[in-house]
Chains A and B, each alone.
Chain A
Amino acid sequence: MTTPVPRGYRPDAGRYDELIDERGQVRSHWRAVIDAWDRLGPHEVARRATTAERRLRAESAGYVFDDDAATGLTIDALPYVIDVESWAAIERGLVQRAELLELVLADLYGPRRLFSEGIIPPGAAVASRSYQLAAVGVEPAGARLISYGADVVRDATGRMLVVRDHTDAPAGAGQALWHRSVLAAMIPDAQARLRVRPLEVWLAHMRAALAESAVPGVASPRTVVLGPPLDHPDFVEASYLASNLGYHLAGSGDFTMRAGRIWLRALEGLEAVDVVLRRVADHAADPLELIPPSPTGVAGLLQAVRERTVSVANSLGSGVADRLWLQPFLGQVCQRLLGEPLLLDQIETLWCGDQDHRQTVFDHFDRFVLHDIDPVAPVASAFADELDSAGEDEWRRRIAEMPHRFIAQRRVLFATVPTGRVVGDESTLVPGMATIRAHAVRSGSSFVVLPGGYGRVVTPEQPVVDPAPAAGKDVWVIDTDHAPRRRLVAAPILPEIDLRSSIPTRSAESLFWLGRNSERAEFVARLARLVIGRAERDAPLCETSWLTAVLFGLEVVSTGAPMNLDPARPPFPAIEERLATALAGSVGSRVGALGDSLTHVFGGAGAVREFLSTASWRVVNSLAVERLELASGVEKGDMYLLAESLDRTVVSLAAFSGLAMESVVRGPSWRFLDLGRRIDRALLTVRLLDATLRADTDADVRQALYAHVLAGCESLVAYRRRHRSDLRLDSMRDLLLDDETNPRSLAFQLQRIREHIFGLPAREGFLEQLRILDELDTLRGRPGQVGDVLGLIGSAVERLSAHLAATWFAQPPPLQLRPQG
Chain B
Amino acid sequence: MEPTQYRVVHRTDYTYGVPVALAHGVGHLTPRRTVAQQVLTSSIEFDPKVDHQWDYLDAFGNATIYWSIERSHQALSVVSCSEVEVWPSVTPAFSPAWEQVPALLRAEVGHDAMDALLCSVGSVLVGPSRELEMYARPSFPAGRPLFEALADLTTRINRDFEFDPGFSDVTTPVAEVFRHRRGVCQDLAHVAIGCLRSMGLPARYVSGYLETQPPPGQPRLIGADASHAWVATYIPGWGWLDADPTNDVTPPTRHITVAWGRDYADVAPIRGVVFGPPSAQTLTVSVDVARIDPPR
Cβ of A306 under 8 Å from chain B: yes
Cβ of B292 under 8 Å from chain A: no
The distance from the CB of A114 to the nearest CB of chain B, in whole angstroms, is: 11
- The 0/1 profile, CB within 8 Å of B marked 1, for residues 746-765 of chain A is 00000000000000000000
A821 touches B276 (CB 8 A): no
A288 touches B59 (CB 8 A): no
Among B56, B226, B275, chain A packs the most CB atoms within 10 A around the CB of B275
Chain B residues 155-210 with CB under 8 Å of chain A are: 169-170, 184-186
Contacts of B273 in A (CB 8 A): 287-288, 299, 814-817
Cβ of A774 under 8 Å from chain B: no
Among A303, A402, A821, chain B packs the most CB atoms within 10 A around the CB of A821
B124 touches A817 (CB 8 A): no
**Given the known A-B contacts A257-B68, A260-B52, are A404 and B277 also in contact in the complex, defined by CB atoms under 8 Å?**
no
In the bound assembly, the distance between CA atoms of A818 and B15 in angstroms comes to 11
Contacts of B70 in A (CB 8 A): 258-259
Contacts of A812 in B (CB 8 A): 275-278
The distance from the CB of B205 to the nearest CB of chain A, in whole angstroms, is: 13
A288 touches B26 (CB 8 A): yes
Contacts of A287 in B (CB 8 A): 273
Contacts of B57 in A (CB 8 A): 137
A137 touches B59 (CB 8 A): yes
Cβ of B285 under 8 Å from chain A: yes
The distance from the CB of A120 to the nearest CB of chain B, in whole angstroms, is: 11
Cβ of B74 under 8 Å from chain A: no
- The 0/1 profile, CB within 8 Å of B marked 1, for residues 279-300 of chain A is 0000000011101100000011
A821 touches B170 (CB 8 A): yes
Cβ of A134 under 8 Å from chain B: yes
Chain B residues 42-100 with CB under 8 Å of chain A are: 51-52, 54, 56-59, 66, 68, 70
B285 touches A820 (CB 8 A): yes
B12 touches A820 (CB 8 A): yes
- Tell me which of A15-23, A35-43, A121-129, A147-155 binds B: A121-129
The distance from the CB of A351 to the nearest CB of chain B, in whole angstroms, is: 12
Cβ of A118 under 8 Å from chain B: yes
Cβ of A664 under 8 Å from chain B: no
Contacts of A402 in B (CB 8 A): 127, 129
**Given the known A-B contacts A257-B24, A288-B26, are A306 and B56 also in contact in the complex, defined by CB atoms under 8 Å?**
yes
Picked from B24, B121, B129, B270, the residue with its CB within 8 Å of the CB of A122 is: B121
A821 touches B226 (CB 8 A): yes
Contacts of A401 in B (CB 8 A): 129-130
Cβ of B148 under 8 Å from chain A: no
A815 touches B281 (CB 8 A): yes
B25 touches A122 (CB 8 A): no
Cβ of A115 under 8 Å from chain B: yes
For chain B, the count of residues having a C-beta within 8 Å of the partner chain is 57
In the bound assembly, the distance between CA atoms of A821 and B223 in angstroms comes to 10
**Given the known A-B contacts A259-B51, A817-B25, are A126 and B118 also in contact in the complex, defined by CB atoms under 8 Å?**
yes
Contacts of A259 in B (CB 8 A): 51-52, 68, 70
DSSP majority for the B interface? mixed
The distance from the CB of A129 to the nearest CB of chain B, in whole angstroms, is: 7
B276 touches A815 (CB 8 A): yes
A133 touches B22 (CB 8 A): no
Cβ of B113 under 8 Å from chain A: yes
The distance from the CB of A281 to the nearest CB of chain B, in whole angstroms, is: 16
Chain A residues 376-410 with CB under 8 Å of chain B are: 401-402, 404
B117 touches A299 (CB 8 A): no
- The 0/1 profile, CB within 8 Å of B marked 1, for residues 99-127 of chain A is 00000000000001001101001110011
Cβ of A136 under 8 Å from chain B: yes
Picked from B14, B26, B56, B120, the residue with its CB within 8 Å of the CB of A123 is: B120
Cβ of A819 under 8 Å from chain B: yes
B271 touches A819 (CB 8 A): yes
In the bound assembly, the distance between CA atoms of A401 and B132 in angstroms comes to 12
In the bound assembly, the distance between CA atoms of A129 and B126 in angstroms comes to 12
Contacts of B20 in A (CB 8 A): 815
Cβ of A502 under 8 Å from chain B: no
Among B24, B122, B268, B272, chain A packs the most CB atoms within 10 A around the CB of B24
A814 touches B124 (CB 8 A): no
The distance from the CB of A557 to the nearest CB of chain B, in whole angstroms, is: 33
In the bound assembly, the distance between CA atoms of A791 and B107 in angstroms comes to 81
In the bound assembly, the distance between CA atoms of A137 and B111 in angstroms comes to 13
In the bound assembly, the distance between CA atoms of A287 and B273 in angstroms comes to 8
The distance from the CB of A407 to the nearest CB of chain B, in whole angstroms, is: 16
- The 0/1 profile, CB within 8 Å of A marked 1, for residues 108-119 of chain B is 010001100110
**Given the known A-B contacts A123-B121, A123-B122, are A116 and B271 also in contact in the complex, defined by CB atoms under 8 Å?**
no
Cβ of A597 under 8 Å from chain B: no
In the bound assembly, the distance between CA atoms of A133 and B119 in angstroms comes to 12
B168 and chain A: residue at smallest CB distance = A821
Cβ of A256 under 8 Å from chain B: yes
Contacts of B277 in A (CB 8 A): 812
Cβ of A426 under 8 Å from chain B: no
Cβ of B233 under 8 Å from chain A: no
Contacts of B270 in A (CB 8 A): 817, 819-820
In the bound assembly, the distance between CA atoms of A394 and B135 in angstroms comes to 24
Picked from B58, B106, B121, B170, the residue with its CB within 8 Å of the CB of A134 is: B58
Picked from B106, B129, B268, B274, the residue with its CB within 8 Å of the CB of A815 is: B274
Cβ of B152 under 8 Å from chain A: no
- The 0/1 profile, CB within 8 Å of B marked 1, for residues 245-266 of chain A is 0000000000011111000000
Contacts of B128 in A (CB 8 A): 404
A303 touches B122 (CB 8 A): no
Cβ of B269 under 8 Å from chain A: yes
Cβ of B250 under 8 Å from chain A: no
Among A112, A288, A819, chain B packs the most CB atoms within 10 A around the CB of A819
Cβ of A307 under 8 Å from chain B: yes
Cβ of B213 under 8 Å from chain A: no
Picked from A126, A133, A816, the residue with its CB within 8 Å of the CB of B272 is: A816
In the bound assembly, the distance between CA atoms of A299 and B56 in angstroms comes to 18
A129 touches B59 (CB 8 A): no
The distance from the CB of A629 to the nearest CB of chain B, in whole angstroms, is: 43
Cβ of B30 under 8 Å from chain A: no
A129 and chain B: residue at smallest CB distance = B124
Contacts of B54 in A (CB 8 A): 260, 303, 306-307
Contacts of A123 in B (CB 8 A): 120-122
Cβ of B247 under 8 Å from chain A: no
A819 touches B268 (CB 8 A): yes
A820 touches B52 (CB 8 A): no
The distance from the CB of A175 to the nearest CB of chain B, in whole angstroms, is: 33
Cβ of B266 under 8 Å from chain A: yes
A303 and chain B: residue at smallest CB distance = B66
A404 and chain B: residue at smallest CB distance = B122
Chain A residues 612-635 with CB under 8 Å of chain B are: none
B76 and chain A: residue at smallest CB distance = A817
In the bound assembly, the distance between CA atoms of A729 and B56 in angstroms comes to 75
Cβ of B212 under 8 Å from chain A: no
**Given the known A-B contacts A133-B266, A259-B51, A306-B56, are A821 and B14 also in contact in the complex, defined by CB atoms under 8 Å?**
no
Cβ of B283 under 8 Å from chain A: yes
Contacts of A258 in B (CB 8 A): 22, 51, 68, 70
Picked from A115, A126, A816, the residue with its CB within 8 Å of the CB of B114 is: A115
Contacts of B184 in A (CB 8 A): 821
**Given the known A-B contacts A260-B52, A291-B124, A821-B169, are A112 and B68 also in contact in the complex, defined by CB atoms under 8 Å?**
no
In the bound assembly, the distance between CA atoms of A289 and B226 in angstroms comes to 24
Among B22, B276, B278, B285, chain A packs the most CB atoms within 10 A around the CB of B22
Task: List the 3 closest A-B pairs by CB distance, nearest first.
Answer: A123-B121, A136-B59, A817-B272
Q: A134-B59, A291-B265, A812-B278 are in contact. List 6 more A-B contacts (CB 8 A).
A: A115-B117, A133-B262, A259-B70, A306-B56, A404-B127, A821-B186
- Please list 11 pairs of residues, one from A and one from B, whose beta carbons are closer than 8 Å in the complex, sorted by A's number: A115-B114, A116-B113, A116-B117, A133-B261, A133-B266, A134-B59, A260-B54, A288-B272, A401-B130, A819-B169, A821-B184
- By a beta-carbon cutoff of 8 Å, the part of chain A in contact with chain B is 112, 115-116, 118, 121-123, 126-127, 129, 133-134, 136-137, 256-260, 287-289, 291-292, 299-300, 303, 306-307, 401-402, 404, 812, 814-821
